[in-house]
Amino acid sequence: MKQDTEALLAVLRRAPVVPVLIVDRVEHAIPLAKALVAGGLPALEVTMRTPAALEVIRAMSTVEGAIVGAGTVLDPEMADAAVAAGAKFMVSPGATETILAHALKIGVPLLPGVATAGEAMRARDAGYRIMKFFPAGPAGGPVYLKALASPLADVLFCPTGGVSEKNAPEYLALPNVVCVGGSWVAPADAMNNGDWGRIEDLARAAMDLAV
């Protein structure tokens, strides 16, 4: 079995930025998703870092135009719970044999996290061609990722971790980057204040980062 690259690319190529969302309150889910989709960012990664995450995924999945995924998926149990809540894709911070095999088994696209050439090769051996480069900044940034383009010519990356509106264009200019993941489009203070207009504006600005 191999990663469904066509299904994953159909999601990741919708916009240059995939919002990485840490949402503590379920009541924020729908207005947040609506603001991001209205700003042009339909692929939403809801990290499984809060007790509300599954309910947030379930609520966001009702928003027209939203393609909701689950982030910080660490094991098969988390994967199954996320999919049951409505997640259409999954993102993991690393790439264990267990999570790689389980994602292929259940047939839901997984973006596995890698930080080195060796990790990328192991994920590639397991059938994956699109990966999350994480944590992008500490792992070497655009310079390191550029160095992987030639030896791993058939692998694409979504760098996440230390990616901002300032350095995103440098990543997006690389031939082996399909998009970036970032949390700056949904700052905690804007969510807590219900400033959905600001989040929509940040999403629109992120759309302009494509090169």
Q: What's the CATH number where 45 sits?
A: 3.20.20.70
Which domain does 56 fall in, by range?
Answer: 5-202
Instruction: State residue 82's pLDDT score.
Output: 98
- From first to last of its 211 residues, the chain has per-residue pLDDT tens of 899 999 999 999 999 999 999 999 999 999 999 999 999 999 999 999 999 999 999 999 999 999 999 999 999 999 999 999 999 999 999 999 999 999 999 999 999 999 999 999 999 999 999 999 999 999 999 999 999 999 999 999 999 999 999 999 999 999 999 999 999 999 999 999 999 999 999 999 999 987 5
**Token pair belonging to 41:** 């960012």
CB-based burial, 199-209: b 16+ in 10 Å, e otherwise: bbebbeebeeb
Q: By the 8 A CB rule, do 74 and 92 touch? A: yes
Cis, bond preceding 135 (omega within 30 deg of 0): yes
Instruction: Indicate whether 164 belongs to any domain.
Output: yes
Q: What is the DSSP secondary-structure string of 76-100?
A: HHHHHHHHHHT-SEEE-SS--HHHH
Contacts of 122 (CB under 8 A, 6+ apart): 95
Instruction: Indicate whether 208 belongs to any domain.
Output: no
Instruction: Indicate whether 101 belongs to any domain.
Output: yes
Residues catalogued as catalytic: 45, 132
Instruction: Indicate whether 185 belongs to any domain.
Output: yes
Counting the structural domains of the chain, the total is: 1
Instruction: Indicate whether 210 belongs to any domain.
Output: no
Instruction: Indicate whether 209 belongs to any domain.
Output: no
pTM: predicted TM-score of the whole model, two decimal places = 0.96
Instruction: Indicate whether 104 belongs to any domain.
Output: yes
> Within 10 A of 49 (CB to CB), how many other CB atoms are there?
13
Q: What is the DSSP secondary-structure string of 27-41?
A: GGHHHHHHHHHHTT-
Instruction: Indicate whether 137 belongs to any domain.
Output: yes
